[in-house]
Structure 1
Amino acid sequence: MSTAPHFDIDVSSFWADPYPDLARMRKEAPIAFVPQLGSTVFTRRDDIFSQEKRIDVFSSHQPNGLMNVLMGHNMMRKDGEAHMAERQAMFPAVSPRTVRDIWVRQFKAHGDRILDELAPQGRADLCKAFALPLSAECLKDVTGLTNMRFADMDAWSQAMIDGIANYTGNKEIEARCHAATAGIDAAIDDMVPVLKKHPNSSILSVLLAAGQNMDSVRANIKLAISGGQNEPRDAISGAIWALLTHLDQLALIQSGKATWLDAFEEYARWIAPIGMSPRRVARPWSYGGVDFAPEDRVFFMFGSANRDEACFSAPDRFDVTRDTQKSIAFGAGPHYCAGAFASRAMVADVALPGAFARLKGLRLDAREPVRIGGWAFRGLLNLPVEWDAP
């Protein structure tokens, strides 16, 4: 255990709204041991930005970590050359050029079809009716698992996310995660012969073409699904909600004084969909007055870093004109999110402009409150809205 000062939290309150506790930690104990999480947490942006790059100390390689145990040994849980080799193998499927030349067109087709079906209804929960299916349909294309139903893509992604954040050891959550990974393995098995015969730009296809062994292929596809579904799904619904509750910010975009990309980047800073990244201490280390011992567990709290008062003025305010260059919503250093370009395109180029253009008079439905939760992964649980049906 590290020598960091202890900071107690109420787990249910932290799940409902972690920001008050994180603000106190940044002020009183920026590196703190949280007994309820069994981990030492980093909460200040500059500490995280510098120490996440120290892979010799804060290693992503966690043989006994939940992600390895439940999903297989993927590139996120590797460092150095092993990480870069697998990252480079995946890159052709998610590069800026591939996103621009291939995926944006397909993303837009999915968005148009979903909005065509939604527009006449006049009322919906946009988490379930728009953000979820759009993210999942796009991810089916990007992963190459077009044989899956979008509902399974979302359910299996959520089951894995719940599993790798299951620090309290809930057996039901673990069982759902195992069922999800078995379903993904079956979908991969079905698509391998198809993509070997008809290769394309999907992750599964490019990993097979690169000769990656099947254990790594499976693990990295599961990684892509675990983050590639929830992050854009939650950013789509969250950014729409943020704009509907900050109409002055929406007006800036609609008047051309800000962009949909500005809204996405600011939302990802304000409420980081991926709020934490775990690390294993690889060797004795001292930093910030705290001594770390090998095998200590560390959480880099991205959600806290992005509200650090030392880097962002009025950090609790949603402001689409803000300079978000210091945001680390997608991580920092060698483990910067490989899917960041695809996520930006899905949300800023397709989902946000599409929803506000097609759903005229879009507004919150006052009959049902919006619910939001999570700290390791945070997002809206529902988004009841209405609009003027044609």
Structure 2
Amino acid sequence: MERPVYDIDPQAFWQDPYPDLARMRAEAPVVYVPQLDAVLITRRDDIFREEKRIEVFSSDQPEGLMTQLMGQNMMRKDGAAHMGERKAIFPAVSPKTVKHHWLAQFRSATARILDDLAPRGACDLVRDFAMPVSAEALKAVTGLTRMGAEEMDAVSQGMIDGCANYAGDPEVEARCNDSTRLIDQHITEMWQSASGADDYSLLRVQQAAGLPEDQIRANIKLAISGGQNEPRDAIAGTVWALLRHPEQLEDVRVGRASWLQAFEEYARWMSPIGMSPRRVAQPYVLHEVALKPEDRVFLMFGSGNRDEQVFARPDAFDIHQDISAAISFGAGPHFCAGAWISRALIAEAALPMLFERLPDLSLAGEARFGGWAFRGPLEMPVTWAEGERSR
């Protein structure tokens, strides 16, 4: 049958995609959106199943925005090529490395940031806490330790804006190109610098694996494009959700739930990674909709994570509901390689340390959210009582 068509208002979709996504799930779970020039797959079980069908839904996208702007990183490869590079970076991101190497560094950096922040009594939690916590972790993990936190945040934002620039805005593309050039400069600066046997950074483990330089550079850009904004947004967003649901925050504080539950429920509910693109590699029919080679398909993780057929309270933040079916980190061979890093940084460092240091933290105004391919709070004013301003 002909592809169903669903029109969106791009600005309204950026501000809040969930009403449109709910209608798509109900009316046409495989639907063409002209404003995005893409076919959207919106139901959780379809995404979970079809993402694994790499012979149809290919990550190899030579004409895709990410490939054009950042180079062909491992996220844009399938099969043996993808798995080979994934194996090469594994020493940097494995659960063992995270537990025994990165977690202590994450906690140390978070403590320093809180030491500087605590005397102020008020801040924008996105800019002043979540951003530097995420950036300091990413500097260590990538090996680009001479990059400033604000610089890391800016180049990450520049790249993700570029990768979601389906409207073709030349200014957005120019900022993305400036960001990739700056990252290349930092990689060049660190390329020959001395490293020790305990250097598990992405730069060093890829060098040790013998990957070509262009692949090393592309994979570091990939890590920065997702490894900064997504933890940043999840840290601030989870804090916002807990402060708006004080009974759930209390459950975590007294041990009836965990910080990890809070983070993973937020990641389901607000999906910092809302979408992953694919290229149709061969003719295929899904829900009687014919897909043609070279069609662009978006796997809408943010929609699947609110599927009414899967989750008991899809539109509610509820840390006690069963979210074992969530696809926040993906569902197939491209399951997020940084998942263990995110869990440790957010659930074992940022969240518990923030609420321990500032137990009277409270919202001081509305938090603004934006995005659909990548979604998170844009600003989040908070305050804390005079007594928490110092140890």
State the TM-score, normalized to the length of structure 2. Answer: 0.98
1:370 corresponds in structure 2 to: 367
Q: Distance in 2 between matches of 1:181 and 1:44?
A: 34
- The residue correspondences of 1:319-358 to structure 2 (distance < 5 A) are 319-358=318-357
Q: Distance in 2 between matches of 1:250 and 1:199?
A: 37
1:122 corresponds in structure 2 to: 121
2:238 corresponds in structure 1 to: 239
**Matched residue pairs, number?**
387
**Change in CA separation of 1:195 and 1:377 when aligned onto 2, cut-off 3 Å:** farther
Q: Distance in 2 between matches of 1:327 and 1:372?
A: 21
Q: Distance in 1 between matches of 2:147 and 2:213?
A: 19
**4+ residue segments displaced more than 3 Å:** 195-199
DSSP 3-state at the match of 2:146: coil
Residue pair 1:359, 1:389 contacting (<8 A) in 2 also: no
1:380 corresponds in structure 2 to: 377
Q: Distance in 2 between matches of 1:348 and 1:389?
A: 26
- The residue correspondences of 1:172-183 to structure 2 (distance < 5 A) are 172-183=171-182
Residue pair 2:312, 2:321 contacting (<8 A) in 1 also: no
2:271 corresponds in structure 1 to: 272
Q: Say whether 1:98 aligns with 2:97.
A: yes
Q: Say whether 1:136 aligns with 2:135.
A: yes
Q: Distance in 1 between matches of 2:79 and 2:255?
A: 43
Q: Distance in 2 between matches of 1:202 and 1:80?
A: 24
Structure 1 stretch 248-257 or stretch 277-286: which is displaced more? 248-257
DSSP 3-state at the match of 2:293: coil
DSSP 3-state at the match of 1:321: coil
Question: Which residue identity lines up with residue 310 of structure 2 in the other structure?
Answer: C
2:280 corresponds in structure 1 to: 281
2:386 corresponds in structure 1 to: 389
Q: Say whether 1:68 aligns with 2:67.
A: yes
**Change in CA separation of 1:4 and 1:106 when aligned onto 2, cut-off 3 Å:** same
Q: Distance in 1 between matches of 2:129 and 2:334?
A: 29
1:188 corresponds in structure 2 to: 187
Residue pair 1:43, 1:302 contacting (<8 A) in 2 also: yes
2:43 corresponds in structure 1 to: 44
- What is the CA distance between 1:360 and its match in structure 2? 2.8
Q: Distance in 2 between matches of 1:351 and 1:148?
A: 21
1:15 corresponds in structure 2 to: 14
Q: CA RMSD in A?
A: 1.1
Q: Distance in 1 between matches of 2:359 and 2:46?
A: 44
Q: Distance in 2 between matches of 1:142 and 1:305?
A: 30
Q: Distance in 2 between matches of 1:215 and 1:376?
A: 26
1:145-186 Cα shifts (integer Å, max 9, x gaps): 001111111000000000000000000000000000000001
DSSP 3-state at the match of 1:333: coil
State the TM-score, normalized to the length of structure 1. Answer: 0.98
Residue pair 1:121, 1:389 contacting (<8 A) in 2 also: no
Residue pair 1:195, 1:205 contacting (<8 A) in 2 also: no
1:300-326 Cα shifts (integer Å, max 9, x gaps): 000000000111012001011122110
- The residue correspondences of 1:142-161 to structure 2 (distance < 5 A) are 142-161=141-160
DSSP 3-state at the match of 2:39: strand
Q: Distance in 2 between matches of 1:47 and 1:198?
A: 44
Residue pair 1:235, 1:264 contacting (<8 A) in 2 also: yes
Q: Distance in 2 between matches of 1:143 and 1:31?
A: 37
- What is the CA distance between 1:287 and its match in structure 2? 1.5
Identity of aligned residues (%): 59
**Change in CA separation of 1:62 and 1:29 when aligned onto 2, cut-off 3 Å:** same
- What is the CA distance between 1:3 and its match in structure 2? 3.2
1:314 corresponds in structure 2 to: 313
Structure 2 unaligned spans of 5+ = none
Residue pair 1:3, 1:292 contacting (<8 A) in 2 also: no
Residue pair 2:59, 2:277 contacting (<8 A) in 1 also: yes
- What is the CA distance between 1:252 and its match in structure 2? 1.1
- What is the CA distance between 1:198 and its match in structure 2? 6.7
Q: Distance in 1 between matches of 2:359 and 2:311?
A: 34
- What is the CA distance between 1:195 and its match in structure 2? 4.6
1:255 corresponds in structure 2 to: 254
Question: Which residue identity lines up with residue 162 of structure 2 in the other structure?
Answer: G
Residue pair 2:30, 2:286 contacting (<8 A) in 1 also: no
Q: Distance in 2 between matches of 1:317 and 1:42?
A: 22
Structure 1 unaligned spans of 5+ = none
Question: Which residue identity lines up with residue 316 of structure 2 in the other structure?
Answer: R
Residue pair 1:159, 1:177 contacting (<8 A) in 2 also: yes
Q: Distance in 2 between matches of 1:120 and 1:42?
A: 47
Q: Distance in 1 between matches of 2:130 and 2:105?
A: 16
